[in-house]
């Protein structure tokens, strides 16, 4: 049904914006809730009398449930660069592990309640929202689930990751008229839960159990939280993320979520969530074969066309890997401690040093963080403002966002690689003699809900950000409220991951503080496109291109742009003595350093002669830094 009805409107007489698929599944879920409720169970709905309906309208047959894993970002990015296994492999594995955990918990809850996925309004970005029957057994099961999830998180992550869950009973009246308030109240309840994490563990005094003798305790070099078994390099959790998921993920076609807790025989690829069941990674062909009575769902990743009998799950598992059938020898791989031969096997992920080397000019990484502006307000107020709030509309909106951030993002990365990056290799602006073996030069660390974190060659990261933003504009039909804010940093490939995450996060925050719908790069915040008096990223990238060409063609010396940056710092500084002095100095530099008169005149015009020249000076760090980095050999 997803496949055929996702884009068919459920009603075309009012706002045709809800998909028939979402509308139908939400309606089915609401009907089940009524059917399960003691007061509603025996009512014959089509023939119900208006008086009886009034009697029932204040009963609460629905239970709105939100579950959330917190601490995700700090957990993913706190990964430590250690000699074992390759950080590029583990980072993606860690992010995927959390994504699967969220899916597993949501599915397990429904499985235990004997309910279908129709009740799952959304699931992504580390949280899920459901509408369940408001009955005693359901509430008991929620309680049990929270305790089991906390047990798992405590045993494997010692409280670094937390799970919280809140519920809110709803009347039929509230479903139609008070859904926004109910959702806000649910969020409030969720924040109150925050202070009661691991309650059961502490109550039963199980939190401090440790069976191992002290002398055998050695902390895991990757997470620095868990204890490593003797003889092992990493703790069990890191090992799972690294070997079983990270290494396998690039060639996995799908996954099977199951509720079975039996110990597994032969080594399987996936995660054993202990009491919470298992998630197995499988090739598409193996999905059927592995289907058992405890199977909750089997999903195909990213291929709506592949197998009609499994569900579809969009997973942004985009990493630069060797897609050819031969092994590739790459000198930069040797920088990586664990790959002294520098050989990248088929399906293997390239290291960050190699990704950096795919840049134009200086070999550096670009780190992009991006997120949708005001998404909470759009859901809570935007939909409600027009009296349009409904479960199915919300389900459609969040599923569509998922299609973009978890599905379409892959196309953007791959398309960029083919359309923009490979031609640069052909023109020898970038040196890489195996470009055809790479489908994506970008490493998507995380993309879910409404935000993303991508690592790529520095020279390609800003054009990629612009492309994501352009596609998002088109995807949202140019809705002026649906915008993206981004932050970019450029760093060496050996830069610690936690610092990458923090600095790019701070850059993103600056974009938000300065009015959102912006990008911050090279410490400078600019809008995506030029407006009156402000230079946008698109135009600045155009300038950077022109300046790079001038340097390459020996028309303008590099030192001119160094000088320009120095003068810019003077111009924007508060020192009253030098204020204004930059103008004659700049004019002097232009005509002194640039022998080609036509180019000198053009540069003079761009930097000083146009109405928006002063505005350019404020953001000139962006094109000048790009031109300088691209021409550094």
CA pair distance 568, 624, nearest whole angstrom: 11
Q: Beta strand pairing status for 518-521 and 484-491?
A: parallel
- Choose among 453, 513, 457, 376: nearest CA to 75: 453
Least spacing, CB of residue 75 vs Zn ion, in Å: 11
- Choose among 333, 450, 353: nearest CA to 397: 450
Nearer of residues 131 and 238 to Zn ion, judged by Cβ: 238
Nearer of residues 66 and 244 to Zn ion, judged by Cβ: 244
Of 270-309, which residues contact Zn ion (CB under 5 A)? none
Least spacing, CB of residue 33 vs Zn ion, in Å: 41
215 Rama sector, left if φ>0, alpha if ψ -120 to 50, beta otherwise: alpha
Classify 69 as helix, strand or coil.
strand
Nearer of residues 211 and 532 to Zn ion, judged by Cβ: 211
Nearer of residues 241 and 332 to Zn ion, judged by Cβ: 241
Least spacing, CB of residue 224 vs Zn ion, in Å: 7
Least spacing, CB of residue 512 vs Zn ion, in Å: 33
Name 278's bridge partners: 258, 272
CA pair distance 338, 177, nearest whole angstrom: 59
Binding region for Zn ion (CB under 5 A) out of 11-19, 172-180, 230-238, 529-537: 230-238
Nearer of residues 270 and 527 to Zn ion, judged by Cβ: 270
Least spacing, CB of residue 226 vs Zn ion, in Å: 4
- Which residues does 502 contact at the CB level (< 8 Å), separation at least 6? 77
Environment class of 519 (CB within 10 Å of its CB; exposed 0-12, middle 13-18, buried 19+): buried
Q: Considering Cα of 272, then 277, then 283, then 289, what sign does the dihedral take?
A: positive
Site size toward Zn ion, by CB under 5 A: 6
Binding region for Zn ion (CB under 5 A) out of 61-69, 74-82, 233-241, 458-466: 233-241
**Position 235 contacts Zn ion (CB under 5 A):** yes
Angle at 261 (CA atoms; ends 256, 265), nearest 5 degrees? 80
Can you read off the two tokens belonging to residue 182? 């109910």
CA pair distance 601, 594, nearest whole angstrom: 9
Nearer of residues 222 and 279 to Zn ion, judged by Cβ: 222
Nearer of residues 241 and 353 to Zn ion, judged by Cβ: 241
Q: Considering Cα of 213, then 214, then 218, then 223, what sign does the dihedral take?
A: positive
Nearer of residues 180 and 242 to Zn ion, judged by Cβ: 242
Least spacing, CB of residue 239 vs Zn ion, in Å: 8
Interaction mask 238-267, Zn ion, x per CB under 5 A? x-----------------------------
Nearer of residues 243 and 390 to Zn ion, judged by Cβ: 243
The whole-angstrom distance between residue 440's C-alpha and the CA centroid of its chain comes to 16
Can you read off the two tokens belonging to residue 117? 């996925």
Least spacing, CB of residue 225 vs Zn ion, in Å: 6
Of 207-226, which residues contact Zn ion (CB under 5 A)? 220, 222-223, 226
CA pair distance 55, 49, nearest whole angstrom: 10
Least spacing, CB of residue 278 vs Zn ion, in Å: 20
Per DSSP, helices labelled H in 427-581 are 458-475, 497-513, 537-552, 558-572
Least spacing, CB of residue 93 vs Zn ion, in Å: 12
Least spacing, CB of residue 218 vs Zn ion, in Å: 11
Least spacing, CB of residue 255 vs Zn ion, in Å: 22
Of 334-353, which residues contact Zn ion (CB under 5 A)? none
Nearer of residues 236 and 529 to Zn ion, judged by Cβ: 236
Q: Considering Cα of 450, then 455, then 456, then 462, what sign does the dihedral take?
A: positive
Interaction mask 561-600, Zn ion, x per CB under 5 A? ----------------------------------------
Question: What backbone phi and psi angles, to 5 degrees, belong to 131?
Answer: -120, 120
- Choose among 130, 160, 101: nearest CA to 32: 130
Count of all residues that appear for the chain in the document:
633
Nearer of residues 235 and 444 to Zn ion, judged by Cβ: 235
Q: What is the largest CA-CA distance in the chain?
A: 91
Q: Which residues bind Zn ion (CB under 5 A)?
A: 220, 222-223, 226, 235, 238
């Amino acid at each position: 049904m997803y496949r055929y009805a996702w884009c068919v409107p459920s009603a075309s007489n009012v706002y045709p914006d809800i998909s028939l698929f979402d509308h139908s599944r939400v309606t089915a879920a609401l009907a089940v809730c009524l059917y399960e409720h003691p007061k509603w169970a025996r009512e014959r709905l089509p023939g119900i009398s208006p008086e009886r309906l009034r009697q029932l309208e204040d009963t609460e047959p629905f239970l709105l449930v939100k579950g959330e894993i917190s601490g995700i970002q700090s957990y993913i990015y706190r990964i430590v660069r250690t000699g074992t296994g390759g950080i590029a492999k583990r980072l993606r594995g860690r992010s995927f592990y959390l994504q699967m955990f969220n899916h597993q918990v949501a599915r397990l809850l429904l499985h235990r309640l004997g309910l279908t996925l129709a009740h799952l309004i959304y699931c992504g970005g580390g949280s899920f929202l459901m509408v369940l029957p408001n009955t005693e057994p359901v509430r008991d099961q929620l309680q049990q689930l929270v305790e089991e999830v906390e047990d798992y998180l405590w045993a494997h992550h010692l409280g670094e990751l937390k799970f919280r869950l809140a519920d809110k009973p709803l009347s039929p009246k509230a479903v139609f008229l008070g859904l926004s308030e109910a959702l806000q109240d649910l969020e409030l309840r969720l924040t109150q839960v925050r202070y009661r994490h691991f309650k059961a563990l502490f109550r039963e005094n199980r939190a401090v159990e440790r069976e191992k003798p002290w002398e055998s305790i050695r902390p895991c070099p990757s997470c620095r939280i868990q204890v490593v078994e003797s003889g092992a390099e990493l703790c069990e959790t890191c090992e799972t993320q690294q070997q079983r998921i990270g290494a396998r993920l690039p060639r996995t076609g799908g996954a099977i979520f199951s509720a079975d807790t039996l110990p597994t025989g032969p080594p399987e690829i996936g995660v054993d969530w202990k009491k919470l069941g298992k998630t197995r990674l499988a090739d598409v062909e193996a999905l059927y074969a592995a289907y058992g009575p405890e199977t909750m769902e089997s999903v195909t990743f990213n291929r709506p066309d592949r197998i009609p009998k499994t569900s579809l799950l969009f997973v942004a598992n985009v990493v630069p890997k060797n897609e050819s059938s031969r092994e590739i020898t790459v000198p930069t791989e040797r920088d990586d401690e664990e790959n002294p031969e520098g050989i990248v096997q088929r399906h293997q992920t390239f290291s960050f040093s190699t990704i950096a080397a795919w840049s134009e000019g200086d070999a550096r990484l670009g780190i992009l963080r991006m997120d949708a502006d005001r998404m909470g307000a759009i859901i809570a107020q935007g939909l409600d403002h027009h009296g349009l709030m409904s479960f199915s509309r919300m389900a459609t909106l969040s599923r569509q966002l998922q299609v973009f951030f978890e599905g379409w993002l892959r196309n953007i990365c791959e398309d960029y690689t083919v359309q923009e990056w490979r031609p640069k290799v052909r023109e020898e602006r970038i040196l890489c003699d195996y470009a055809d073996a790479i489908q994506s030069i970008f490493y998507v660390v995380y993309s879910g809900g409404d935000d993303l974190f991508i690592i790529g060659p520095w020279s390609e990261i800003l054009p990629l950000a612009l492309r994501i933003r352009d596609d998002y504009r088109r995807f949202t039909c140019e809705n002026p409220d649906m915008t993206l804010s981004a932050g970019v940093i450029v760093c060496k490939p050996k830069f610690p991951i936690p610092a990458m995450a923090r600095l790019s996060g701070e850059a993103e925050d600056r974009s938000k503080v300065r009015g959102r719908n912006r990008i911050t790069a090279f410490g400078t915040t600019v809008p995506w496109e030029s407006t009156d008096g402000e230079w946008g990223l698109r135009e600045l990238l155009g300038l950077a291109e022109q300046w790079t060409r001038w340097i390459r063609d020996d028309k303008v010396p590099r030192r001119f742009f160094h000088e320009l940056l120095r003068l810019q710092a003077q111009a924007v500084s508060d020192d009253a003595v030098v204020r204004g002095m930059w103008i004659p100095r700049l004019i002097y530099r232009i005509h002194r350093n640039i022998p080609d008169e036509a180019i000198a005149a053009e540069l003079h015009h761009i930097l000083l002669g146009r109405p928006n020249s002063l505005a350019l000076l404020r953001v000139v760090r962006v094109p000048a830094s790009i031109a300088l980095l691209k021409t550094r050999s």
